[in-house]
Amino acid sequence: MFEQGDLRYVVLKLISEKPSHGYEIIKAIEDRVGGAYAPSPGVIYPTLTLLEEMGAIRVQETDGPRKLYAITPEGEDLLRQNQATVETIFSRMADVNARHGGGPAPQILRAMENLRTALRLRLSRGPLSPEQSAAIADALDAAAKAVEAS
């Protein structure tokens, strides 16, 4: 999705728009590309650490293990100095979003995959009792009715 070094500008730009936790940044990127890509925590958190070490962001506050990151004046300067690059990256992201736009929202795609995985894992553990089969069928029917009613 991104070329070498692009992700740091994306993260920095998103933090400049709103101080954020790592998970919020992951969601924001996923939303900006219409669900076509979601960076892993293993990519985002090292990027946050790098930006913090560069002095571009700082921890504004902590809520337990969650850190809220905010941009620094140095980070704002970095964005200004690389404005053309940042605009190009976000334009590319908007293009991806447009191609994937109109499809299901990212959270719906994730929920669909979660359901598929849960069913596959449960069914792979062995046969279901009649009560278990009925309970799973009832849960799926209830979910279908809730979706249709939305």
Residue 147 pLDDT exceeds 90? no
**How many other CB atoms are there within 10 angstroms of residue 135's CB atom?**
12
What percent of the chain has a predicted confidence (pLDDT) above 70? Answer: 96
Which residues, in sequence order, are bridge partners of residue 69?
20, 59
How confident is the model over 74-104, as pLDDT tens digits?
Answer: 999 999 999 999 999 999 998 888 887 656 6
Domain that holds residue 116: 106-149
Residue 1 placed within a domain: no
- CB of 20 within 8 A of CB of 69? yes
Provide mean pLDDT across the span 62-74.
90
- Looking at the fold, whether 20 and 79 belong to one and the same domain comes out as yes
**How many other CB atoms are there within 10 angstroms of residue 86's CB atom?**
19
Contacts of 87 (CB under 8 A, 6+ apart): none
- Among 63, 81, 100, where does a domain finish? 100
- CB of 72 within 8 A of CB of 63? no
- Looking at the fold, whether 12 and 56 belong to one and the same domain comes out as yes
- Looking at the fold, whether 42 and 95 belong to one and the same domain comes out as yes
28 vs 10, 20, 35, 38, 73, CA distance in Å? 10, 10, 10, 9, 22
- Looking at the fold, whether 89 and 114 belong to one and the same domain comes out as no
Q: Would you call 133 exposed, middle or buried from its count of C-beta atoms within 10 A (0-12, 13-18, 19+)?
A: exposed
Residue 144 placed within a domain: yes
Whole-model pTM above 0.85? no
- Looking at the fold, whether 89 and 70 belong to one and the same domain comes out as yes
**How many other CB atoms are there within 10 angstroms of residue 94's CB atom?**
14
What percent of the chain has a predicted confidence (pLDDT) above 90? Answer: 56
CATH number at residue 11: 1.10.10.10
- Looking at the fold, whether 82 and 52 belong to one and the same domain comes out as yes
Number of structural domains in the chain: 2
Residue 131 pLDDT exceeds 90? yes
Residue 13 placed within a domain: yes
Residue 128 pLDDT exceeds 70? yes
72 token code pair: 């620094």
